[in-house]
Amino acid sequence: MKRRKFLSSLTNLTLLIISGSVVKTTLRGAVETYLTDTAGAKKRFTMGIQTQKCIGCGRCVTACKTENNVPEEPFYFRTWVEHYVVKKDDSVIVHSINGGSGEISENIKEHDVLRSFFVPKLCNHCENPPCVQVCPVGATFKTEDGIVLVDEDRCIGCSYCLQACPYGARYIRPATHIADKCTLCYHRIKKGLNPVCVEVCPTQARVFGDLESGASPLVRLKRMKNTHVLKPALNTEPKVFYTDLDGAVK
């Protein structure tokens, strides 16, 4: 299958004629066919986030909603930005107004603040994804290049994956009643492009790359800086890596 045909099958759900019967192409089938026909060096795509560079502008949130047709209601997100405020009494306040793209309304006295910072979050595309394990129909799956996706043709909207995800990275689309989440802009990276949140970040806080490539910006980031993952004790082996991650972050 040619690259152009693969992309067409994803966007238009092309009907294939096989042995005289009409079969609807699923996302899983299109991805697996593409990976088979373009087999070569193994890839593992993922993202790094330099928290000290994030300024909380929310451009990534807005761009993701536009690029991926995420519902406009202020509680549906594929990626979001949390604002952490650590007070001198060691209490922690976390804001995420409109996913981090809205203004912070709570009034906190400056002399009470010990430190504050922003933390972008998204699906962690785990090596051991619990969402895949609990899906009763196999709609959630992990590709050979390490990205966790949802096959819309199989999803029945049971919400088991939402309950299983320890990172709160999924939601049910109100119009279709199927699970949705960050795909690392899979449709873009197969064209050789970066995820849209990486493209629009004004401070280059987000770094995308292939863990199997020594020339990858992400591999260089991991080599030059100490990186951490969220909730490592859960053994999901997240593949979103953070630099300078504050201990207050959950």
Look at residue 3 and tell me if it is in a domain.
yes
Beta pairing, strands 45-50 & 92-95: unpaired
Helices (H), 97-247: 130-134, 160-164, 186-189, 196-200, 217-224
Look at residue 18 and tell me if it is in a domain.
yes
Look at residue 67 and tell me if it is in a domain.
no
Q: List the pLDDT tens digit at each of the 250 positions of the chain.
A: 444 444 444 444 333 333 333 333 466 665 655 554 445 678 999 999 999 999 999 999 999 999 999 999 989 999 999 999 999 999 999 988 889 888 776 677 888 999 999 999 999 999 999 999 999 999 999 999 999 999 999 999 999 999 999 999 999 999 999 999 999 999 999 999 999 999 999 999 999 999 999 999 999 999 999 999 999 999 999 999 999 999 999 8
Q: What contacts 181, CB < 8 A, 6 or more positions away?
A: 78, 123, 148, 150, 169, 170, 171
Look at residue 20 and tell me if it is in a domain.
yes
pTM: 0.83
Look at residue 2 and tell me if it is in a domain.
yes
Look at residue 222 and tell me if it is in a domain.
no
- For residues 168 and 159, give the distance between their C-alpha atoms in angstroms, rounded to a whole number: 12
Q: Which domain holds residue 13?
A: 1-40
Closest CA to 240 of 200, 221, 248, 214: 221
Backbone angles phi, psi at 173, to 5 degrees: -65, 130
- The domain total for the chain is 1
Look at residue 155 and tell me if it is in a domain.
no
Look at residue 65 and tell me if it is in a domain.
no
